Structure 1
Amino acid sequence: MRTIRVLPVLAAAALVTACGVQPTGVVLAGPGPSIRATAGSNVAGGLTLYFVSDGRVVPVTRPTEGFISPEGALTLLLKGPTEREAAQGLTTFVPTELDRVDVHPGDPTTIVVPVGMRKLSDQAISQLVCTTIAASTATTRAPITPGVNVTSVDGKGYFPFCKAD
């Protein structure tokens, strides 16, 4: 009878000692993991481009080596999603005849497209603007202004903000 009473006491003692691990306070180890990076072109070795998924403009991070300029980021955007990205349902609304975009740094940054603004959907403009802002944010010339001047060969211009999910 006595051994039956001792067994619960020993079990409780084993739980209380917890293998000698002492309690500690909160240990700060930096930010938690995230699914996507949206803050620049050189975030943890990644370049943020914006493509379209289900009609929404979304950030996509590609691994890179070193710094990518806003011009370089837009050049990669104009090439469209990779095969892997396309297999994940990503696409682009930037027209295929748009083969280059001129970037003029400043505050705000200005991008000049060699097509008329009518050829650019709202999603295409957001892809260009968001990619430009993300790439500019990673540079020392990061703009204070939250938008980008977008002008075209037809003389029309807009000052849109990044509209992405």
Structure 2
Amino acid sequence: MKRSRWLPLPGLAAALMLTACGVPPSDVIQAGAPASGMIDSEPVVISLYFLDDGDPAAYPRTIGAPADFRTVLDKLFDGPTAEEARTATTELPHLSGTADASVGNSGEVSVELPEDVTPLSHPAMLQLVCTVADLSGTFAWLPADAYRDGFSAAHVTIHVYGDGWMKTQSADACPDASHR
């Protein structure tokens, strides 16, 4: 008859963990630049365009990280805050879903709205295009190739698509478009 040998497994496991492979503790070692390609965790100040007496006007807003194009659109379609609403109005609808956006190399922006959204008014289109045009100075939202061909935020064009409709608006009518 064969006898099984009993090993004290808990004791053996504890002994192995205590030795920790003989690697001594050390301080943090600096080794070059931080990893790239990560989203910056710093808050970003952007300008959302709402209407002030019917004209598009910039309202600075701090947004947390990650600061991306979709986050900006969500904030814009959410409308003015209670404090901003003292002077600001909006003609943009409150969305039941999220807007899907893409940016082409020539600076043309396409925004696809949820199915239940009716065609946007001219002031609403201006709010949208002015906000998008203003983003070029805030963080890199355009592909790098867009800047090679002399891209200017004043020449941003936006195409907005809804269920069975499409509208296009340029940033030429935005406040200070010539100074971007």
**Please, what TM-score do these two structures have when normalized by structure 2?**
0.56
Q: What residue number does 1:121 align with?
A: 121
Task: Determine which structure has greater relative contact order: mean sequence separation of CA pairs < 8 Å that are 6+ residues apart, divided by chain length.
Answer: 1
Q: What residue number does 2:91 align with?
A: 93
SS at match of 2:59: strand
Q: What is the deviation of 1:155?
A: 3.9
Alignment of 1:65-104 (within 5 A): 65-66=64-65, 68-87=67-86, 89-97=87-95, 99-104=97-102
Tell me if 1:148 matches 2:158: yes
Change (3 A) 1:101 1:82: same
C-alpha separation between the residues in 2 aligned to 1:91 and 1:59? 12
C-alpha separation between the residues in 2 aligned to 1:76 and 1:141? 19
SS at match of 2:173: coil
Q: What is the deviation of 1:160?
A: 2.8
**Please, what TM-score do these two structures have when normalized by structure 1?**
0.61
Change (3 A) 1:152 1:78: same
Ranges in structure 1 where 5+ consecutive residues have no aligned partner: 1-43
Once the two structures are superposed, residues 103-141 of structure 1 have per-residue CA deviations (whole angstroms, 9 ceiling, x without a partner) of 012131211123588631111011112222223552152
SS at match of 2:51: strand
Q: What is the deviation of 1:74?
A: 0.7
| Number of residue-to-residue matches in the alignment | 121
Higher fraction of strand: 2
Tell me which amino acid in the other structure corresponds to 2:166: K
Deviates more, 1:101-110 or 1:89-98: 89-98
Q: What residue number does 1:33 align with?
A: none
SS at match of 1:148: strand
Q: What residue number does 1:49 align with?
A: 48
C-alpha separation between the residues in 1 aligned to 2:61 and 2:68? 14
Tell me which amino acid in the other structure corresponds to 2:135: A
Q: What residue number does 1:131 align with?
A: 131
Deviates more, 1:101-110 or 1:72-81: 101-110
